[in-house]
């Protein structure tokens, strides 16, 4: 009887202890509100059973800060009885009567990543203000360490190991010594007006530089050959007169190289330099195509002949603004150029009366003395150890 009584007492005690520690409900305060929960419920269960009390989970971010997963961060943040808990301790935290819990939005988490060595590409420095632009220093790559995201593949810079050397593009206005020199240039040909212009140049024994369009030469290869045969200088105005800054890298390079190929096929002469349409050749274009351009040639005197202001106005635009080393912009294509033909004899005579010697752009470069011969010859080659900027 005594044994039975003792057993009964033990069972009752065990039931009471079990109820007290495992089965009874307790009240905890969550974000200021009373919430009933089973005693010693793990905090993870309390949170998940109550939908994390409506807070938002954190996001999974790439190493560059882009969102990879809207719910890839921590489920929430929790302050338990005044202490901010790490998410790893949620499972081991058991709720008790009177506990106070504050639940807030989860924290963004960055994806796993690792460090590795990478190439540091050069930047570019471009001088402004000159009519003749050419590379005076090629870029050299350096080295850097980066952190690469294992999910995104994105990288962010960590440190520079070896600095890169910037590409440098010089920009000069020719200033020949020992005389007064000027260069006449014609854009957008060849066209039906080119033969008349060449005839005047031949009669006056005056050289000029023609910036031909590849598309026009493809239609009239004899017109380009006539320029070479006349002793004038043949250069490129690109293929189809596109605004080069609007092109992507591959299209830009194709616009330049296809024109050079066409001019060379028509005449046997590969143009030494280009004139970018509208004069638009920025740091980006140099960074993307500087290895296929010996020089970009702009102008100092714009006759605005495309406005058809009359032969006298075109003549005055040249004579009134002429100076030693100037490059004059005219056109032999792209529209009606009869006024240029009428104005040209007076321009040549007037310049000579003022003591000017007419030369090609290449001759003007040589007379200046600052332009390397390989640029003048169109023989520029990027060194094997050089690197183009990343733009």
Q: How confident is the model at residue 18 (pLDDT cuts 50, 70, 90)?
A: very low
Residue 346 lies in a domain: yes
Instruction: Looking at the structure, tell me whether residues 201 and 322 fall in a common domain.
Output: yes
CA angle 138, 144, 145 (to 5 degrees): 165
SS3 214: helix
Instruction: Looking at the structure, tell me whether residues 267 and 360 fall in a common domain.
Output: yes
Its sign, for the CA torsion 209, 214, 215, 217, is positive
pLDDT over threshold 50, residue 20: no
pLDDT at 196: 98
Residue with tokens 């006298």: 312
Residue 119 lies in a domain: no
pLDDT tens per residue, range 196-246: 999 999 999 999 999 999 999 999 999 999 999 999 999 999 999 999 999
Domain count, the chain: 2
Residue 389 lies in a domain: no
Asked if 102 contacts 298 with a C-beta cutoff of 8 angstroms, the reply is no
User: Residue 100 belongs to a domain with what CATH number?
Assistant: 3.10.20.30
Last residue in a domain, options 69, 85, 110: 110
Residue 100 lies in a domain: yes
Residue 181 lies in a domain: yes
Residue 335 CA to residue 66 CA, distance in Å, equals 51
Asked if 251 contacts 289 with a C-beta cutoff of 8 angstroms, the reply is no
Range of 24's domain? 2-110
Contacts of 179 (CB under 8 A, 6+ apart): 324, 355, 357
Residue 76 CA to residue 92 CA, distance in Å, equals 16
What is the pairing mode between strands 296-297 and 132-137?
antiparallel
Instruction: Looking at the structure, tell me whether residues 208 and 103 fall in a common domain.
Output: no
Instruction: Looking at the structure, tell me whether residues 230 and 319 fall in a common domain.
Output: yes
pLDDT tens per residue, range 351-371: 999 999 999 999 999 999 999
Instruction: Looking at the structure, tell me whether residues 224 and 89 fall in a common domain.
Output: no
pLDDT at 4: 58
- Please tell me which residue, 49 or 4, carries the higher pLDDT value: 49
Q: What is the DSSP letter of 358?
A: E
Structure tokens at 161: 């190991």
**How many C-beta neighbours within 10 Å does residue 271 have?**
26
Instruction: Looking at the structure, tell me whether residues 97 and 243 fall in a common domain.
Output: no
User: Residue 202 belongs to a domain with what CATH number?
Assistant: 3.20.20.370
Last residue in a domain, options 68, 87, 110: 110
Please state, in angstroms and as integers, the Cα–Cα distance from residue 114 to each residue in 63, 118, 154, 169, 304, following that order. Answer: 10, 13, 11, 37, 59
Instruction: Looking at the structure, tell me whether residues 194 and 53 fall in a common domain.
Output: no
Asked if 117 contacts 148 with a C-beta cutoff of 8 angstroms, the reply is no
7 phi and psi, to 5 degrees?
A: -60, -45
Q: What is the DSSP letter of 151?
A: T
Residue 207 lies in a domain: yes
Structure tokens at 2: 């005594």
pLDDT (mean) for 160-169: 97
Residue 391 lies in a domain: no
pLDDT tens per residue, range 319-349: 999 999 999 999 999 999 999 999 999 999 9
Residue with tokens 């007169």: 241
Distance separating the N- and C-terminal Cα atoms of the chain:
96
Residue 49 lies in a domain: yes
Last residue in a domain, options 61, 89, 110: 110
Active site residues: 187, 331
Q: Which helix (H) or strand (E) element contains residue 241?
A: none
Instruction: Looking at the structure, tell me whether residues 101 and 183 fall in a common domain.
Output: no
pLDDT over threshold 80, residue 22: no
Instruction: Looking at the structure, tell me whether residues 191 and 99 fall in a common domain.
Output: no
Instruction: Looking at the structure, tell me whether residues 209 and 328 fall in a common domain.
Output: yes
Instruction: Looking at the structure, tell me whether residues 89 and 184 fall in a common domain.
Output: no
Residue 391 CA to residue 300 CA, distance in Å, equals 29
Instruction: Looking at the structure, tell me whether residues 353 and 242 fall in a common domain.
Output: yes
């Amino acid at each position: 009887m005594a044994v039975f009584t003792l057993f009964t007492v033990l069972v009752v005690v065990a039931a009471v202890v079990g109820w007290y520690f495992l089965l009874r409900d307790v009240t905890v305060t969550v974000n200021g509100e009373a919430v009933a929960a089973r005693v010693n419920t793990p905090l993870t269960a309390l949170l998940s059973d109550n939908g994390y009390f409506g807070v938002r989970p954190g996001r999974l971010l790439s190493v560059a800060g882009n969102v990879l997963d809207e719910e890839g961060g921590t489920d929430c943040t929790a302050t338990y009885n005044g202490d901010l808990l790490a998410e790893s301790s949620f499972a081991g935290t058991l709720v008790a009567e009177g506990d106070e819990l504050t639940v807030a939005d989860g924290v963004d988490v960055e994806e796993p990543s690792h460090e590795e060595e990478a190439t540091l590409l050069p930047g570019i420095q471009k001088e402004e203000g000159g009519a003749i632009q050419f590379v005076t220093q090629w870029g050299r790559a350096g080295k850097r360490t980066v952190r690469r995201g294992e999910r995104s593949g994105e990288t962010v810079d960590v440190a520079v190991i070896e600095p890169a050397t910037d590409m440098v593009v010089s920009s000069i206005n020719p200033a020949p010594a020992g005389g007064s020199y000027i260069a006449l240039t014609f854009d957008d040909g060849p066209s039906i007006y080119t033969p008349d212009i060449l005839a005047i140049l031949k009669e006056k024994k005056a050289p000029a530089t023609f910036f031909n369009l590849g598309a026009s030469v493809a239609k009239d290869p004899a017109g380009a050959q006539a320029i070479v045969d006349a002793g004038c200088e043949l250069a490129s105005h690109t293929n189809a007169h596109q605004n080069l800054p609007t092109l992507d890298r591959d299209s830009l390079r194709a616009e330049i190289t296809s024109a050079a190929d066409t001019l060379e096929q028509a005449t046997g002469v590969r143009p030494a330099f280009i004139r970018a349409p509208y004069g638009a050749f920025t740091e980006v274009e140099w960074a993307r195509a500087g290895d296929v351009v010996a020089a970009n040639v702009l102008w100092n005197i714009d006759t605005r002949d495309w406005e058809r202001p009359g032969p006298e106005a075109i003549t005055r635009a040249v004579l009134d603004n002429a100076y030693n080393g100037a490059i004059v912009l005219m056109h032999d294509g792209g529209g009606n150029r009869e006024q240029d033909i009428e104005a040209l004899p007076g321009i040549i005579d007037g310049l000579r009366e003022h003591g000017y010697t007419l030369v090609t752009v290449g001759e003007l470069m040589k007379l200046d003395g600052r332009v390397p011969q390989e640029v003048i010859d169109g023989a520029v080659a990027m060194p094997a150890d050089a690197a183009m900027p990343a733009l």
